[in-house]
Protein backbone atom coordinates (compact mmCIF):
# COMPACT_ATOMS: atom_id res chain seq x y z
CA UNK A 1 0.00 0.00 0.00
CA UNK A 2 2.83 2.36 0.91
CA UNK A 3 4.63 1.48 -2.33
CA UNK A 4 1.50 2.25 -4.37
CA UNK A 5 1.03 5.53 -2.56
CA UNK A 6 4.67 6.45 -3.16
CA UNK A 7 4.36 5.69 -6.89
CA UNK A 8 1.11 7.67 -7.10
CA UNK A 9 2.74 10.76 -5.58
CA UNK A 10 6.24 10.53 -7.09
CA UNK A 11 5.49 8.64 -10.29
CA UNK A 12 1.95 8.78 -11.62
CA UNK A 13 1.10 12.37 -10.68
CA UNK A 14 4.26 14.04 -12.09
CA UNK A 15 4.28 11.81 -15.19
CA UNK A 16 0.60 12.44 -15.88
CA UNK A 17 1.07 16.14 -15.14
CA UNK A 18 3.93 16.20 -17.61
CA UNK A 19 1.73 14.65 -20.31
CA UNK A 20 -0.94 17.28 -19.63
CA UNK A 21 1.61 20.10 -19.85
CA UNK A 22 2.95 18.90 -23.19
CA UNK A 23 -0.59 18.51 -24.57
CA UNK A 24 -1.43 22.09 -23.52
CA UNK A 25 1.85 23.30 -25.07
CA UNK A 26 0.98 21.62 -28.39
CA UNK A 27 -2.49 23.18 -28.26
CA UNK A 28 -0.99 26.63 -27.71
CA UNK A 29 1.34 26.12 -30.68
CA UNK A 30 -1.67 25.10 -32.79
CA UNK A 31 -3.52 28.28 -31.79
CA UNK A 32 -0.59 30.56 -32.59
CA UNK A 33 0.61 28.78 -35.73
CA UNK A 34 -2.03 30.42 -37.90
CA UNK A 35 -0.51 33.84 -37.16
CA UNK A 36 3.22 33.24 -36.62
CA UNK A 37 5.86 31.09 -38.39
CA UNK A 38 7.30 28.07 -36.60
CA UNK A 39 10.76 29.66 -35.98
CA UNK A 40 9.14 32.57 -34.14
CA UNK A 41 7.09 30.19 -32.02
CA UNK A 42 10.33 28.39 -31.15
CA UNK A 43 11.91 31.73 -30.22
CA UNK A 44 9.09 32.64 -27.83
CA UNK A 45 9.13 29.18 -26.27
CA UNK A 46 12.92 29.42 -25.78
CA UNK A 47 12.82 32.92 -24.28
CA UNK A 48 10.16 31.92 -21.75
CA UNK A 49 12.17 28.85 -20.76
CA UNK A 50 15.30 30.97 -20.35
CA UNK A 51 13.46 33.48 -18.14
CA UNK A 52 12.36 30.60 -15.92
CA UNK A 53 15.75 28.90 -15.65
CA UNK A 54 18.01 31.98 -15.19
CA UNK A 55 16.83 32.91 -11.66
CA UNK A 56 17.38 29.29 -10.62
CA UNK A 57 20.87 28.86 -12.08
CA UNK A 58 22.56 32.25 -11.68
CA UNK A 59 22.57 32.26 -7.84
CA UNK A 60 24.62 29.04 -7.97
CA UNK A 61 27.60 30.97 -9.28
CA UNK A 62 30.10 30.75 -12.11
CA UNK A 63 31.53 27.43 -10.96
CA UNK A 64 28.20 25.75 -11.56
CA UNK A 65 27.93 27.21 -15.05
CA UNK A 66 31.44 26.11 -16.10
CA UNK A 67 31.33 23.06 -18.36
CA UNK A 68 33.98 20.89 -20.03
CA UNK A 69 31.64 20.07 -22.93
CA UNK A 70 30.54 23.48 -24.17
CA UNK A 71 30.75 22.45 -27.83
CA UNK A 72 28.49 19.46 -27.16
CA UNK A 73 25.97 21.73 -25.45
CA UNK A 74 26.06 24.01 -28.48
CA UNK A 75 25.49 21.08 -30.84
CA UNK A 76 22.71 19.68 -28.66
CA UNK A 77 21.04 23.10 -28.70
CA UNK A 78 21.20 23.20 -32.50
CA UNK A 79 19.69 19.72 -32.78
CA UNK A 80 16.93 20.62 -30.33
CA UNK A 81 16.12 23.78 -32.28
CA UNK A 82 15.77 21.66 -35.41
CA UNK A 83 13.44 19.30 -33.51
CA UNK A 84 11.22 22.11 -32.22
CA UNK A 85 11.01 23.82 -35.61
CA UNK A 86 9.98 20.55 -37.27
CA UNK A 87 7.46 19.75 -34.53
CA UNK A 88 5.88 23.21 -34.45
CA UNK A 89 5.67 23.32 -38.25
CA UNK A 90 3.95 19.92 -38.27
CA UNK A 91 1.45 21.02 -35.62
CA UNK A 92 0.39 23.93 -37.80
CA UNK A 93 0.18 21.93 -41.02
CA UNK A 94 -0.63 18.31 -40.14
CA UNK A 95 -2.73 18.33 -36.99
CA UNK A 96 -2.27 17.67 -33.29
CA UNK A 97 -2.73 13.90 -33.38
CA UNK A 98 -0.34 12.99 -36.18
CA UNK A 99 2.25 15.64 -35.30
CA UNK A 100 2.53 14.59 -31.63
CA UNK A 101 2.67 10.94 -32.66
CA UNK A 102 5.42 11.52 -35.22
CA UNK A 103 7.27 13.60 -32.64
CA UNK A 104 7.11 10.63 -30.25
CA UNK A 105 8.89 8.24 -32.67
CA UNK A 106 12.31 8.98 -31.15
CA UNK A 107 12.66 5.43 -29.67
CA UNK A 108 12.58 4.06 -33.23
CA UNK A 109 15.47 6.27 -34.28
CA UNK A 110 17.40 5.57 -31.07
CA UNK A 111 17.00 1.87 -31.88
CA UNK A 112 18.47 2.47 -35.35
CA UNK A 113 21.33 4.61 -34.04
CA UNK A 114 22.15 2.09 -31.31
CA UNK A 115 24.05 0.00 -33.86
CA UNK A 116 26.48 2.50 -35.44
CA UNK A 117 26.71 5.03 -32.58
CA UNK A 118 26.20 3.13 -29.33
CA UNK A 119 27.77 -0.08 -30.71
CA UNK A 120 24.85 -2.16 -29.45
CA UNK A 121 23.79 -5.45 -30.98
CA UNK A 122 20.19 -5.49 -32.13
CA UNK A 123 18.36 -8.65 -31.06
CA UNK A 124 15.37 -10.18 -32.82
CA UNK A 125 12.83 -8.50 -30.54
CA UNK A 126 14.32 -5.06 -31.20
CA UNK A 127 14.50 -5.71 -34.94
CA UNK A 128 10.83 -6.74 -35.04
CA UNK A 129 9.83 -3.67 -33.03
CA UNK A 130 11.73 -1.39 -35.44
CA UNK A 131 10.12 -2.99 -38.49
CA UNK A 132 6.64 -2.76 -36.95
CA UNK A 133 7.25 0.84 -35.88
CA UNK A 134 8.35 2.03 -39.30
CA UNK A 135 5.46 0.20 -40.94
CA UNK A 136 3.28 2.31 -38.65
CA UNK A 137 5.17 5.41 -39.81
CA UNK A 138 4.36 4.45 -43.41
CA UNK A 139 0.65 4.26 -42.50
CA UNK A 140 0.89 7.80 -41.11
CA UNK A 141 2.92 9.31 -43.97
CA UNK A 142 1.11 7.43 -46.78
CA UNK A 143 3.98 7.69 -49.28
CA UNK A 144 3.04 7.31 -52.94
CA UNK A 145 -0.55 8.49 -52.38
CA UNK A 146 -2.32 11.81 -52.78
CA UNK A 147 -2.53 12.05 -48.96
CA UNK A 148 1.26 12.24 -48.55
CA UNK A 149 2.46 15.65 -47.35
CA UNK A 150 5.88 17.18 -46.82
CA UNK A 151 4.63 18.56 -43.50
CA UNK A 152 4.12 15.02 -42.16
CA UNK A 153 7.66 14.11 -43.23
CA UNK A 154 8.92 17.21 -41.41
CA UNK A 155 7.03 16.01 -38.33
CA UNK A 156 8.84 12.68 -38.56
CA UNK A 157 12.16 14.55 -38.71
CA UNK A 158 11.35 16.00 -35.28
CA UNK A 159 11.40 12.45 -33.89
CA UNK A 160 14.83 11.89 -35.43
CA UNK A 161 16.25 15.12 -34.02
CA UNK A 162 14.84 14.35 -30.56
CA UNK A 163 16.49 10.92 -30.65
CA UNK A 164 19.82 12.56 -31.51
CA UNK A 165 19.42 15.08 -28.69
CA UNK A 166 18.64 12.31 -26.19
CA UNK A 167 21.81 10.46 -27.16
CA UNK A 168 23.84 13.67 -26.74
CA UNK A 169 22.33 14.22 -23.29
CA UNK A 170 23.20 10.63 -22.39
CA UNK A 171 26.85 11.22 -23.31
CA UNK A 172 26.99 14.43 -21.26
CA UNK A 173 25.26 12.90 -18.23
CA UNK A 174 28.48 11.84 -16.44
CA UNK A 175 29.76 15.41 -16.16
CA UNK A 176 26.65 17.55 -16.52
CA UNK A 177 23.89 17.85 -13.90
CA UNK A 178 20.39 18.16 -15.28
CA UNK A 179 20.00 21.82 -14.31
CA UNK A 180 23.18 22.80 -16.17
CA UNK A 181 22.06 20.89 -19.25
CA UNK A 182 18.69 22.68 -19.19
CA UNK A 183 20.46 26.01 -18.70
CA UNK A 184 22.67 25.60 -21.77
CA UNK A 185 19.74 24.29 -23.78
CA UNK A 186 17.79 27.45 -22.93
CA UNK A 187 20.75 29.70 -23.77
CA UNK A 188 21.59 28.05 -27.10
CA UNK A 189 17.99 27.64 -28.25
CA UNK A 190 17.27 31.31 -27.55
CA UNK A 191 20.44 32.36 -29.36
CA UNK A 192 19.87 30.20 -32.44
CA UNK A 193 16.19 31.06 -32.78
CA UNK A 194 16.96 34.73 -32.07
CA UNK A 195 19.33 34.86 -35.05
CA UNK A 196 16.53 33.64 -37.31
CA UNK A 197 14.32 36.48 -36.06
CA UNK A 198 16.57 38.95 -37.93
CA UNK A 199 14.83 37.72 -41.09
CA UNK A 200 11.58 36.10 -39.94
CA UNK A 201 10.26 38.41 -37.22
CA UNK A 202 6.57 39.29 -37.35
CA UNK A 203 4.98 41.61 -34.80
CA UNK A 204 2.75 39.35 -32.69
CA UNK A 205 -0.59 40.24 -31.19
CA UNK A 206 -1.08 40.34 -27.43
CA UNK A 207 -3.07 37.12 -27.75
CA UNK A 208 -0.18 35.33 -29.51
CA UNK A 209 2.33 36.54 -26.90
CA UNK A 210 0.06 35.35 -24.08
CA UNK A 211 -0.43 31.97 -25.75
CA UNK A 212 3.32 31.50 -26.23
CA UNK A 213 4.05 32.43 -22.62
CA UNK A 214 1.65 29.67 -21.57
CA UNK A 215 3.33 27.31 -24.05
CA UNK A 216 6.79 28.10 -22.67
CA UNK A 217 5.68 27.65 -19.06
CA UNK A 218 3.97 24.34 -19.90
CA UNK A 219 7.00 23.08 -21.85
CA UNK A 220 9.37 23.89 -18.96
CA UNK A 221 6.96 22.51 -16.37
CA UNK A 222 6.36 19.36 -18.38
CA UNK A 223 10.07 18.68 -18.75
CA UNK A 224 10.65 19.28 -15.04
CA UNK A 225 7.84 16.94 -14.01
CA UNK A 226 9.02 14.25 -16.44
CA UNK A 227 12.58 14.50 -15.13
CA UNK A 228 11.27 14.21 -11.55
CA UNK A 229 9.24 11.13 -12.46
CA UNK A 230 12.22 9.43 -14.12
CA UNK A 231 14.44 10.34 -11.16
CA UNK A 232 12.18 8.64 -8.62
CA UNK A 233 10.92 5.66 -10.63
CA UNK A 234 12.00 3.00 -13.07
CA UNK A 235 11.67 3.96 -16.72
CA UNK A 236 9.24 1.08 -17.29
CA UNK A 237 6.61 2.83 -15.14
CA UNK A 238 7.10 6.30 -16.65
CA UNK A 239 7.74 5.78 -20.38
CA UNK A 240 4.10 4.97 -21.29
CA UNK A 241 3.01 8.45 -20.22
CA UNK A 242 4.77 9.87 -23.29
CA UNK A 243 1.87 8.53 -25.32
CA UNK A 244 -0.75 9.93 -22.97
CA UNK A 245 0.18 13.25 -24.59
CA UNK A 246 -0.69 11.76 -27.99
CA UNK A 247 -4.09 10.64 -26.74
CA UNK A 248 -4.80 14.03 -25.17
CA UNK A 249 -3.68 15.87 -28.30
CA UNK A 250 -5.99 13.67 -30.38
CA UNK A 251 -8.95 14.52 -28.15
CA UNK A 252 -8.12 18.24 -28.21
CA UNK A 253 -7.69 18.18 -31.99
CA UNK A 254 -11.07 16.45 -32.34
CA UNK A 255 -12.91 18.83 -30.00
CA UNK A 256 -11.21 22.05 -31.05
CA UNK A 257 -10.52 21.57 -34.74
CA UNK A 258 -12.62 18.54 -35.76
CA UNK A 259 -9.41 16.65 -36.54
CA UNK A 260 -9.81 12.89 -36.53
CA UNK A 261 -7.20 10.40 -37.81
CA UNK A 262 -8.36 8.22 -40.71
CA UNK A 263 -8.26 4.42 -40.50
CA UNK A 264 -4.72 4.24 -41.92
CA UNK A 265 -3.39 6.77 -39.42
CA UNK A 266 -5.17 4.98 -36.56
CA UNK A 267 -3.52 1.67 -37.52
CA UNK A 268 -0.19 3.46 -37.79
CA UNK A 269 -0.65 4.99 -34.35
CA UNK A 270 -1.25 1.58 -32.77
CA UNK A 271 1.82 0.10 -34.47
CA UNK A 272 4.08 3.05 -33.58
CA UNK A 273 2.99 3.27 -29.94
CA UNK A 274 3.33 -0.48 -29.46
CA UNK A 275 6.78 -0.58 -31.08
CA UNK A 276 8.06 2.51 -29.25
CA UNK A 277 6.86 1.21 -25.88
CA UNK A 278 8.58 -2.10 -26.56
CA UNK A 279 11.83 -0.33 -27.40
CA UNK A 280 11.58 2.14 -24.51
CA UNK A 281 10.86 -0.48 -21.88
CA UNK A 282 13.56 -2.88 -23.10
CA UNK A 283 16.16 -0.27 -24.04
CA UNK A 284 19.72 -0.75 -22.82
CA UNK A 285 20.36 2.97 -23.10
CA UNK A 286 21.08 4.14 -19.52
CA UNK A 287 18.70 6.60 -17.99
CA UNK A 288 20.78 9.82 -17.89
CA UNK A 289 18.91 11.14 -14.84
CA UNK A 290 19.99 8.13 -12.77
CA UNK A 291 23.73 8.30 -13.53
CA UNK A 292 26.06 9.48 -10.80
CA UNK A 293 26.46 13.23 -10.72
CA UNK A 294 29.68 15.12 -10.12
CA UNK A 295 29.83 17.42 -7.14
CA UNK A 296 28.74 20.91 -8.08
Burial, 27: exposed, middle or buried (Cβ in 10 Å; 0-12, 13-18, 19+)? buried
Tell me the residue range of the domain where 51 lies: 39-289
The predicted-structure confidence for 76-95, as pLDDT tens digits, reads as follows 999 999 999 999 999 989 88
* Domain membership flag for residue 73: yes
pLDDT tens digits in sequence order for the chain, 296 residues long: 445 666 566 667 888 888 899 999 999 999 998 889 999 999 999 999 899 889 988 888 888 888 888 888 899 999 999 999 999 999 989 888 889 999 988 888 888 876 666 666 677 888 888 899 889 999 888 876 666 789 899 999 999 998 888 888 777 777 777 788 888 888 999 999 999 999 988 989 999 999 999 998 998 888 778 777 766 666 566 667 778 888 899 899 888 888 888 888 889 999 998 888 887 666 544 443 343 333 33
Distance CA 116, CA 119 (A): 6
pLDDT of residue 95: 83
* Domain membership flag for residue 131: yes
pLDDT of residue 292: 39
* Domain membership flag for residue 283: yes
Count of domains for the chain: 1
> What is the secondary structure of 113-149 as a DSSP string?
HTTTTS-PPP-HHHHHHHHHHHHHHHHHH-TTSTT--
* Domain membership flag for residue 9: no
Burial, 94: exposed, middle or buried (Cβ in 10 Å; 0-12, 13-18, 19+)? buried
* Domain membership flag for residue 96: yes
* Domain membership flag for residue 13: no
pLDDT of residue 1: 43
* Domain membership flag for residue 226: yes
Angle 59-179-198 (CA atoms, 0-180°, nearest 5)?
85
pLDDT of residue 7: 58
Run of H or E residues at 38: helix 38-57
Angle 25-31-33 (CA atoms, 0-180°, nearest 5)?
95
* Domain membership flag for residue 272: yes
Mean pLDDT, the chain, rounded, equals 82
The predicted-structure confidence for 198-215, as pLDDT tens digits, reads as follows 998 898 999 999 999 999
Quick one: DSSP state of residue 33?
Answer: T
Q: Is residue 95 within 8 Å of residue 257, measured between CB atoms?
A: yes
Amino acid sequence: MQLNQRYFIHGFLPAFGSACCFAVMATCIKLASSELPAPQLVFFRSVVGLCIILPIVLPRGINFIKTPVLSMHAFRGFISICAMNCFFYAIGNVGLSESTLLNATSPLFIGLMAMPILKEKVNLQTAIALVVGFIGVAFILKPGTALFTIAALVGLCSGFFIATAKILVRYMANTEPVLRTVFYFSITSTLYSGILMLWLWQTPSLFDVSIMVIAGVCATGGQTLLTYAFTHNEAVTVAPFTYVTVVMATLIGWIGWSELPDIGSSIGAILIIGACLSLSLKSKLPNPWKLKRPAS
